[in-house]
Amino acid sequence: MLGLLLIVLVVGALFALPSSGGRRQVQQRQQVSFDDAYADAKRWTDRLGSQVLNLSGNDAASTQAMADASERFNAASAGLADARTPKQAMLARESALEGLHYVNAAREIMGLPAGPALPELEGQRQAGRVTEERSVRQEDGTVVTASPVATEATPHYYPGGAVAGRPVPAGWYSTAWWAPAMMTGMWAASSMMFYSTMFAGMSGAASAEAFEAGGLGDAGAGAEGMGDMGDMGDAGGDFGGDFGDFGGGFDFGGFDF
């Protein structure tokens, strides 16, 4: 009886093991998924590369937007070179799409057609956009200005979306105030006060409560989520762009209008 039971258990275990054919099917599906994601990312990256190569800005705002587009092209290209999974390819795609949004902003400033509509960035709809010009003065006298349109005082464009899991509304800014969080994947504790002061009650922009809650665009933790933009640096190495001048070190304490 015991021998028969052992035979039944062994046979059951053998049937429970995936066959080599089953493993090959899984591997084939995974490869097809990666190939599709890679091809899609490469398509957008190539389109961005063509724009970066053939278009130059003609004023401060459009030049800055094209510089940011070029940086995103470098990020997308590096991400594709390192991509080994569909998710990594999707990160490269997001970099390329963000770059194309910068290109469209530059083209709009220069009076050129924006071209075909682009897919939304991760979290772009939730982040909203700047709908009125507003400035916040810091204790050190530094003024951060947000505007719905490009001006001499607001040459830094952001297409809107999730940065380190928190919303940054689409618009034009006097400085790239989101850049430290984009590079490090972390927001300063005082950023909540800054966001609330800048965007409180602004129609169209994500609420201060949404900023405080975080988790925007997350599909998981760490590298698993687009909201955690710390990994975007891995896709593009140095997210330096033209973010050297942050103005006042971003000590976001003590604001007034």
Per-residue pLDDT in tens (0 to 9) along the chain, 257 residues: 555 545 545 445 555 555 667 788 888 888 888 999 999 999 999 999 999 999 999 999 999 999 999 999 999 999 999 999 999 999 999 999 999 999 999 999 999 998 788 998 888 999 999 999 999 987 677 899 999 999 999 999 999 999 999 999 999 999 999 999 989 999 988 899 999 999 999 999 999 999 999 988 653 333 333 333 333 333 333 333 333 333 333 444 443 33
Contact 106, 66 (CB under 8 A): yes
Distance CA 105, CA 247 (A): 23
What is residue 73's predicted lDDT score, i.e. its pLDDT? Answer: 97
Contacts of 52 (CB under 8 A, 6+ apart): 66, 69, 70, 73, 99, 103
Phi, psi angle pair for 113, to nearest 5°: -60, 140
Residue pair 99/49 in contact by the 8 Å Cβ criterion = no
pLDDT recorded at residue 171? 97
Please state, in angstroms and rounded to a whole number, the distance separating the CA atoms of residues 248 and 243. Answer: 13
- Please give the pLDDT value at position 115: 78
CB 103, CB 66: distance < 8 Å: yes
Q: C-alpha distances in angstroms, 140 versus 155, 197, 251?
A: 22, 16, 9
pLDDT given at position 252: 43
Q: What pTM was computed for the model?
A: 0.73
Residues 6+ away with beta carbon under 8 Å from 163: 178, 181, 182, 229
pLDDT of residue 28: 82
| Percentages of the chain per state (helix, strand, coil), in multiples of 5 | 55, 10, 35
Instruction: Say what the pLDDT of residue 20 is.
Output: 67
Query: How many Å apart are CA 96 and CA 77, to the nearest integer?
Result: 8
